[in-house]
A and B are shown apart, each in its own frame.
Chain A
Amino acid sequence: MKEFGLFINGQWEAAKGGKTAPTINPATEEAWATVAVADREDVRKAVAAAKRAHDSGVWRNKSPQERGEILQRVAAALFERQEEVAAAEVQDGGGTLRKAMSMDVPGAAQTFMHFGQFICGDEYKAMLQEEYEESVPIPSRNLVVREPIGVCAGITPWNFPLIMAAWKIAPALAAGNCVVLKPASVTPVTSLMLAEICTAAGVPAGAVNVISGPGGSAGEELATHPDIGKVAFTGSTEVGRRIMQLGAGTLKKVTLELGGKSPNIILPDANLDTAALGALFGTFMHQGQICESGTRVLVHESIHDVFVEKMIAGIKRIAIGDTMNMMTTMGPLVSAAQRDTVEKYVAVGNEQGAKCVAGGKRPSNMPKGYYYEPTIFDAVDNKMRIAQEEIFGPVVAVIRYKDEDEAVRLANDSVYGLGGAVWSQNKDRAVALARRIETGTVWVNDYHMINLRFPFGGYKQSGVGRELGKWGLAEYHELKHIHVGESTPPEGKFYFQALLN
Chain B
Amino acid sequence: MVHIAIAPKAAEVVARIRDARTGSLCFTIDGGCCEGTAPHLLADVIITPGAKQIGEVAGVPVYLQPAMVGIYTDAALTIDVVDEPLSDSMSLETEHGLRFVLREGE
Residues of A within 8 A of B (CB-CB), count: 45
**Contact call A337/B46, Cβ cutoff below 8 A:** no
A5 at the interface (CB under 8 A from B): no
Name the B residues within 8 Å of A415 (CB-CB): 66-67
Contact of B88 among A21, A214, A391, A461 (CB under 8 A): A214
Contact of A214 among B32, B37, B94 (CB under 8 A): B94
Cβ of A92 to closest chain B Cβ, rounded Å? 11
Contact of A186 among B30, B31, B88, B90 (CB under 8 A): B88
Contact of A385 among B45, B46, B71 (CB under 8 A): B71
**Contact call A238/B89, Cβ cutoff below 8 A:** yes
9 extra interface residue pairs, beta carbon distance < 8 Å, beyond A242-B40, A388-B67: A186-B88, A216-B91, A216-B93, A219-B90, A223-B90, A235-B33, A246-B90, A344-B104, A389-B37
**Contact call B37/A341, Cβ cutoff below 8 A:** yes
Name the A residues within 8 Å of B30 (CB-CB): 236-238, 241
Q: Given contacts A215-B90, A385-B71, are A235 and B34 in contact (CB under 8 A)?
A: yes
Of chain B, the residue at the smallest CB distance from A384 is B71
A217 at the interface (CB under 8 A from B): yes
Q: Given contacts A235-B33, A259-B32, A338-B36, are A242 and B67 in contact (CB under 8 A)?
A: no
**Contact call B32/A216, Cβ cutoff below 8 A:** no
B4 at the interface (CB under 8 A from A): no
Name the A residues within 8 Å of B46 (CB-CB): 245
Of chain A, the residue at the smallest CB distance from B99 is A337
Of chain B, the residue at the smallest CB distance from A21 is B85
Q: For the complex, what is the distance from the CA of A238 to the CA of B11, rounded to whole Å?
A: 22
Q: Which of A74-124 contact B (CB under 8 A)?
A: none
Q: For the complex, what is the distance from the CA of A214 to the CA of B92, rounded to whole Å?
A: 9
A13 at the interface (CB under 8 A from B): no
**Contact call B90/A392, Cβ cutoff below 8 A:** no
**Contact call B89/A159, Cβ cutoff below 8 A:** no
Name the B residues within 8 Å of A258 (CB-CB): 33
Q: Given contacts A215-B90, A223-B90, are A337 and B101 in contact (CB under 8 A)?
A: yes
A177 at the interface (CB under 8 A from B): no
Of chain B, the residue at the smallest CB distance from A258 is B33
A185 at the interface (CB under 8 A from B): yes
Name the B residues within 8 Å of A246 (CB-CB): 90
A128 at the interface (CB under 8 A from B): no
**Contact call B40/A390, Cβ cutoff below 8 A:** no
**Contact call A184/B40, Cβ cutoff below 8 A:** no
A291 at the interface (CB under 8 A from B): yes
Cβ of A227 to closest chain B Cβ, rounded Å? 19
Interface residues of A (CB under 8 A from B): 21-23, 35, 37, 39, 157-159, 184-186, 214-217, 219-220, 223, 235-239, 241-243, 245-246, 258-259, 261, 291, 337-338, 341, 344, 385, 388-392, 415, 461
Cβ of A495 to closest chain B Cβ, rounded Å? 41
Q: Given contacts A337-B84, A337-B101, are A390 and B91 in contact (CB under 8 A)?
A: no
Give 6 CB contacts A-B under 8 Å.
Answer: A185-B88, A214-B87, A219-B88, A236-B33, A237-B33, A238-B89
Cβ of A3 to closest chain B Cβ, rounded Å? 15
Q: Given contacts A216-B94, A241-B48, are A392 and B32 in contact (CB under 8 A)?
A: yes
B82 at the interface (CB under 8 A from A): yes
Name the A residues within 8 Å of B88 (CB-CB): 158, 184-186, 214-215, 219, 235, 239
Cβ of B63 to closest chain A Cβ, rounded Å? 11
Q: Given contacts A185-B86, A245-B45, A337-B101, are A236 and B91 in contact (CB under 8 A)?
A: no
Contact of A215 among B28, B31, B94 (CB under 8 A): B94
**Contact call A215/B89, Cβ cutoff below 8 A:** yes
Q: For the complex, what is the distance from the CA of A39 to the CA of B96, rounded to whole Å?
A: 11
Contact of A239 among B66, B89, B92, B101 (CB under 8 A): B89
Name the B residues within 8 Å of A215 (CB-CB): 87-91, 94
**Contact call B34/A158, Cβ cutoff below 8 A:** yes
Of chain B, the residue at the smallest CB distance from A415 is B67
**Contact call B34/A217, Cβ cutoff below 8 A:** no
B42 at the interface (CB under 8 A from A): yes
Cβ of B93 to closest chain A Cβ, rounded Å? 7
Q: For the complex, what is the distance from the CA of A235 to the CA of B90, rounded to whole Å?
A: 11
Name the A residues within 8 Å of B91 (CB-CB): 215-216
Name the B residues within 8 Å of A235 (CB-CB): 33-35, 88
**Contact call A214/B95, Cβ cutoff below 8 A:** yes
Q: Given contacts A217-B95, A337-B84, A341-B36, are A389 and B31 in contact (CB under 8 A)?
A: yes
**Contact call B84/A242, Cβ cutoff below 8 A:** no
**Contact call A216/B89, Cβ cutoff below 8 A:** yes
Cβ of A195 to closest chain B Cβ, rounded Å? 18
Q: For the complex, what is the distance from the CA of A21 to the CA of B97, rounded to whole Å?
A: 10
Q: For the complex, what is the distance from the CA of A238 to the CA of B104, rounded to whole Å?
A: 19
Q: For the complex, what is the distance from the CA of A235 to the CA of B86, rounded to whole Å?
A: 16
Q: For the complex, what is the distance from the CA of A35 to the CA of B85, rounded to whole Å?
A: 11
**Contact call A242/B90, Cβ cutoff below 8 A:** yes
Name the B residues within 8 Å of A157 (CB-CB): 33-34
Cβ of B52 to closest chain A Cβ, rounded Å? 15
B53 at the interface (CB under 8 A from A): no
Name the A residues within 8 Å of B87 (CB-CB): 185, 214-215
